[in-house]
Amino acid sequence: MSNSSSLIVQDINECFEFRNELLKAISFIPFGICSTISNIILITAILRNSHLRYRHEMQIVCALSVADFVEAFATFCGGVYRILVILLNLKDQKFHLLQCMLLPHSWLWRWSDFATSFMLLTTTCDRILSVIFPLKYMRWRSTYSYIAIGLPYVLSALLSMFAWHRSVTEYAEISMLCTNVYISPIFYMFSKYLTSASSMLSVILYIPTIFIVKIQRKQMSHILTNSQIARQHRAQVRMTMTLAISCFATFFLDALPRAMGIYGILDENPTEAGKQCESAMQVLFHLTKLNSIINLFLHYHRNPTLRESVLNVVRMFYIGKFLIWNLQNSF
């Protein structure tokens, strides 16, 4: 530890209130589990249908759903962990900063926080390309999807590595509850502002996209052809409008909560000497899970092929549940 600086951290007992902290931890569970289930259904429905999984736009929607799933699963795990620590009265047990960072939900949060917002922006950019270059877009090979998905994923992984800086270079023992004090407040604010800006940009860029789609719709209304290219183009336009509705939800359930959440806690942890109790404004970050849940129902309602695939996934679940029940009864 000779190369590490020492970090002054407030004792958790100075701010800990059992009821408030327990309620904050419990709030992780419903958002995390509902979003986890929703994203599992959407991912499975896309991957099991060959017509869906080979389409560029659905591959990107699936990649966004994977990022949402990781964030939701980390939220659920983080909630369960904190509830157990509080109920078992382990908050006074000490962890090093690095031990907190090594908890699975800690580093999953760091990656998924960037990945979800970057994938939202990628989805918007994909729709812009599909309406500006419709014929070229339909002919692009799988390399396009690899780049569109791989770039935000890799960038998220690289940026999330900076979250390890404090836990590696500074020494301190904090509560086993492992609130965000193990992360540099500068990095935390940077990550929240960057992800909020990325989500906001995905909304702003969609506005001209909608106007272009409206113009194309008017032009297509005069064309009665039913060729394969025309059908594919209509499908792309419908997908663009579906994601426009999703974009509207993103503004209220992702971009704004991220911005308001970090603004609300800005004055509560302004220095390197961190408080171990998180602000109640952190609850706003849970609204991003609602955004991913709405996406499932939106695609289910607007995409007949996906709807059928989702219904098949649900049927498979009930068949599996029925078989397990029969096996248990046979013993």
Q: pLDDT (tens digit, 9 = 90+) per residue, 10-69?
A: 778 777 888 888 999 999 999 999 999 999 999 999 999 998 999 999 999 999 999 999
Instruction: Identify the helix (H) or strand (E) that includes residue 170.
Output: strand 170-171
Residue 322 is encoded by which pair of tokens?
């029925």
153-197 pLDDT tens trace: 999 999 999 999 989 988 888 889 988 888 888 898 889 889 989
Q: Is residue 223 part of a domain?
A: yes
Write down the mean pLDDT value for the chain.
85
CATH number at residue 144: 1.20.1070.10
> What's the pLDDT at 212?
85
Q: Using CA atoms, how far apart are residues 318 and 159, in angstroms rounded to an integer?
A: 41
Task: Write out the DSSP string of 49-105.
Answer: -HHHHTSHHHHHHHHHHHHHHHHHHHHHHHHHHHHHHHHTT-TTSEEEHHHHHTSHH
Q: Is residue 51 part of a domain?
A: yes
> What's the pLDDT at 311?
93
Domain that holds residue 284: 5-324
Buried b (16+ CB within 10 A) or exposed e, 43-73: bbbbeebeebeebbbbbbbbbbbbbbbbbbb
Q: Is residue 184 part of a domain?
A: yes
Instruction: Identify the helix (H) or strand (E) that includes residue 28.
Output: helix 28-47
Q: Is residue 331 part of a domain?
A: no
Q: Is residue 311 part of a domain?
A: yes
pLDDT at 325 over 60: yes
Q: Is residue 330 part of a domain?
A: no
The pTM for the full model equals 0.88
Q: Using CA atoms, how far apart are residues 232 and 62, in angstroms rounded to an integer?
A: 19
Q: Is residue 329 part of a domain?
A: no
> What's the pLDDT at 58?
94
> What's the pLDDT at 4?
52
Highest mean pLDDT out of 157-171, 229-243, 312-326:
157-171
The domain total for the chain is: 1
Mean pLDDT of 121-135: 91
Q: Is residue 167 part of a domain?
A: yes
Residue 136 is encoded by which pair of tokens?
């070229």
64-85 pLDDT tens trace: 999 999 999 999 999 999 999 9
